[in-house]
Structure 1
Amino acid sequence: MTASNSTTNHPFAFEVGKNALHKTRIVPLDIAQPLLENEVLLKVDKFALTANNISYGITGAALGYWQFFPCDLAADRALWGRLPVMGFADVIESNCCDIQVGERVWGFMPMASHVKIQAGKVSKTGFTDISPCRDGLAPLYSRFDRVTQNLSYSVKNEDYDILLRGLFTTSWLVDDFMFDHEYFGAQQYLITSASSKTSIALAFSIKQRGERPAIAITSEANLSFVSSLGCYDHVVSYADIHTLDSSVASILVDMAGGQSTLSAVHQHFADNLRYSCRIGVTQHTDVNLNNSFSIDNLPGAKPEFFFAPTQLQKRSAQWGAAVTMAQVSRSMLAYIDFCRASISIDLTTNLNDLNAVYQRILAGTADASVGHIICVTAN
C-alpha cells in the first residue's frame, strides 16, 4: 500500500487499483471548499467490508460500480477507484434546507472518511445523491436512509445492519424472484461460495419460505462452518460436485463466479440445470470478464446475471415501496438474530490496519464466521 497521507487523523480515501485490486493507496481529501446549492457533506462513521465489496471491484467496469465515487483527479480515474461499501454517516455540513446537520444516515459509502453528495428527491425517509456521476446507475444504490425514520433501526444492530442489510436485500430478492417464477420447474437450489454472507442470507431466506432445499457448495476449509449453520440441507465441497444427484432439476445461484466451478455444475447437471443465476465473484482468480469461456456452449440454462433493483422495482410497483421494504426489514431482523449465533463482529478501530483486513478478504483467507466493521471515527 502506498500512502499520500500516512496519518488517519485527516480526511482521506482508500483507493484500489482497478486492474490490480491488490494495489491500494490512501489519498487526502479536500473537504474545505464551500458547499454548492443542495450539497451535503457526510462524515463516514463506520462501514462493513466483505467479499461482496471485492465483487464490486471485479465487475466495476462492466456494472458501473466505479462510477459511484470517482477519484478526485480525472487523471487518476483510469487506474484507481473507490470501492462502494455499506455504512453509517453523519451530516456535518448541509446546503440543503431539508437536510439538517447532525442527521444520521445509512447507505452506499466510499471507503473514506467523508463523502460529498448532491441531495435530491428529499423525503421524510431519506434522500438521493443526484450527482452527475450517478447518471444511469440504479437509484437503489444512490439512496440514503434517515435512521430516525427507519422503524427497524436500533443502535445495538448497527454493525450487523451494515454488514448484512445490503447483501440480505439481494438474497431476499433472489428468493422472491425464484418463487415468482415458480422455481423454473426446479426442485432444489445449488449455492456456491456457501460460506459467504450473501449465500448464507439466501439459504436463510429459502429455509424461511420452506418450499425448496438448498445445497451448499463450498471450499474444503469451510465445510465444518457451513454445516454448522443449519440453513443448508446438504453440504459438499467443490471437489465433490460430481457426487450430487444430477437427475434432480436444479437452480444454480453462483456466488463464486469462478469459471471452473460454473463449468463443473453445468457439465454435471446438464439439462437438469433449469436456471443459472450469477451474482458474486468470490473466486476472482478464476475469472476473466473479457472472455465468456464458451459460456454459450455450457449445457443447461444459460447463465444470467441477477440484477436486484429490477426485482425490487417490480415488487415496489405491485405492493408499494413501503410495503416491500417493510417485508425485507422484518425478514432481515430475523436474519440478524440468526447471525448473532454464528457470525461474530470484528471491529477495526485503527485505520492503519484497514489494508491488512482488505487484503485478507481479497485473498479469500478471512474467517467466514467473522464480519469486519471498519470504524472511521474511532481515529
Structure 2
Amino acid sequence: MTTPGWALEVARDDLTRTSLVEADVPEPGDGEAVLRVDRVGVTANNVTYAVLGDALRYWRFFPAGEGSGRVPLWGFAEVLASRADGVEPGQRVYGYLPPASHLLVRPERAGAHGFRDGSPHRAALPAVYNSYLLTSGDPAHEPEREDLQVLYRPLFFTSFLLADQLAEQDAGVVVLSSASSKTAYGTAFLLRGGGAEVVGLTSPRNVDFTASLGCYDRVLPYDDVPALAAAPTAYVDLAGSTPLRRALHDHLGADLLLDLVVGVTHQDASPAGDLPGPRPTVFFAPDRVAARTADWGREGLDRRFGEAWRRFAPAAEGWVDVTVSSGPEALRDVWLEVLAGSSDPRTGHVVQL
C-alpha cells in the first residue's frame, strides 16, 4: 500500500473553499478492513449533507481537520485489505463513502448481504448510513445500472420514505420545491395518482424539463405561487429558500397543513421570522426508517422499497444523462458545479476514483 491516499475537504463555514489533502492509506488492525473508494455520485443531496452537517451530524461520519469537513457521498468501493471475519479482499460494496481514496471500517454483523461499520465514532450515528451492501448479495444490484444506483438509490430511498409520510397527510395538494431535483421528482413519481394534486415549483429555466418527466400534475415557476388554489396543502421544501417559504405561507395561510424541510439546495436557510401557518419541521429519513422498521420489520421495509425501485428505475433511465469524470480534481470540480446549482437537471454526475 505505497500509493499515497488523498481526501477532498471543504471549509465548513464556506463550502466553496476546497482542498485536496494527502492522507495515509490505512492498514487494517484486528477486526478492521480497508475499502478503496471506486465510483461515487454527486448530487444536490450531498449539498444538503454539507449545509446541515453540524445540525444533523453528517460531518461526524468522516472526520477531517479543524474547521474542515468531508462531504459524505454514496457509491461503490472494493475491499482492499481485511482482518475482519466474513469480509474478504476483492468484495464490492455499496454504501456511504468519504470523498477520499480509502475508508477504514470495523465490520460487524458481516454476512451474505454485507456488514455495518462499527467504528466507535459512528456508533451513535444513524444506522442507515453505517450499512454496506455486498453487490453479490444485493437483489437490487444490476451491474449495468450501477451509475443509476449511484445517482438515484439514496435519493429515491428518501423519496420513498417521504412519499410514505405524505400519504398520511389529509392534504388535497402536495407542493414540492426544487421540483427538478431527483429527490423531488422521485417523490412525485410515487405520489402521482394517489388522490392529492402534485405540484412542482422550479426555476423558469427548468419548467419544461420538469413537466416533461410526467411526474407532476402541474409545474409552476417559483414566482407563480399565487396560481396555487386555496386547498389543504402540504409543502415539501427541497430548496431552502426563505422568500419562497414566506410567499407560500402568506398565500396559503391556514390552508397550509405542513411545511416539511427536506433539502437546502438554495443554501438560504435564514429564519423567515413569524409565519402564518405551521412551523417548518425537518424531515430526517433515519427517523422514518426506524418507525417503519418497527411497523414492518427490516425485511418488510426492504421489500416495499425494492418494489418501488423496480417501478422507478426503468423510467429514470430516460430522465438522466450520466456524465462520468475521473480523479480527485474532477471530484472537486463536480462538487463546486453542483454546489453552485449550475448543472443541467438532466445531468447526473458520476466520478470514477
* TM band (smaller chain): over 0.9
**Bigger CA drift: 196-205 or 331-340?**
331-340
Which of 61, 76, 79 is 1:88 aligned to? Answer: 76
Q: What TM-score does the superposition give when structure 2 sets the normalisation length?
A: 0.96
Q: 2:41 aligns with which of 32, 40, 48?
A: 48
Pairwise CA distance, 1:350: 4.3
Query: Which of 7, 12, 15 is equivalent to 1:13?
Result: 7
Q: Which residue of the partner structure matches residue 250 of structure 1?
A: 233
Structure 1 Cα separation of the partners of residues 215 and 256 of structure 2: 22
Gaps of 5+ in 2: none
How large is the RMSD of aligned CA atoms in angstroms? 1.3
How many Å apart are 1:300 and its aligned residue? 1.4
Determine the structure 2 residue equivalent to 1:154. 142
Structure 1 residues not aligned, in runs of 5+:
1-8
Q: Deviations over 1:164-209 (max 9, x none)?
A: 1111011111111122x3x1x21010000001111011111112x6
Question: Could you tell me how far apart the structure 2 residues matched to 1:42 and 1:135 are?
Answer: 19
**1:236 aligned to 2:220?**
yes
Match of 2:272 in 1: 293
Match of 1:3 in 2: none
Deviates more, 1:271-280 or 1:300-309: 300-309
Asked if the contact 2:70–2:99 (Cα under 8 Å) also holds between the matched residues in 1, the reply is: yes
**Deviation by residue 1:4-52 (Cα, 9 ceiling, x = unmatched):** xxxxx74211111111000011111211x53222111001110000011
Alpha-carbon shift at residue 127 of structure 1 (Å): 1.0
CA gap 1:276/1:132 in 2 versus in 1, 3 angstroms: same
1:318 maps to 2:306? no
- 1:368 alignment partner in structure 2: 345
Rounded Cα–Cα distance in structure 1 between residues aligned with 2:324 and 2:238: 25
Aligned AA (1:40): A
State the shift of 1:213 in Å: 1.9
State the 1:101 CA deviation: 1.0
Q: Deviations over 1:320-349 (max 9, x none)?
A: 211211211221122121111111110012
Aligned residues of 1:172 and 1:328 also touching (Cα < 8 A): yes
Q: Secondary structure at the match of 2:111?
A: coil
Deviations 1:114-154 (A, max 9, x none): 11111123233121111122132110011111111111211
Shift of 1:264: 1.1
Structure 2 residue 194 is the aligned partner of structure 1 residue 210: yes
Given that 2:330 and 2:351 are in contact with CA atoms closer than 8 Å, whether structure 1 keeps it comes out as no
Counterpart in the other structure of 1:336: 313
Residue number among 164, 188, 208 corresponding to 1:176 in the alignment: 164
By how many angstroms is 1:217 displaced?
0.4
2:238 is the counterpart of 1:261: no
TM-score w.r.t. the length of structure 1 is 0.90
Q: Is the 8 A contact 1:354 1:374 kept in 2?
A: yes
Q: Does 1:24 align with 2:24?
A: no
Contact 1:88-1:107 at 8 Å conserved across structures? yes
Distance 2:153 2:58 in 1: 18
In the alignment, the residues of structure 2 paired with residue 263 and residue 136 of structure 1 have an alpha-carbon distance, to the nearest angstrom, of 35
| 2:325 corresponding residue in structure 1 | 348
CA distance in 2, matches of 1:350, 1:143: 25
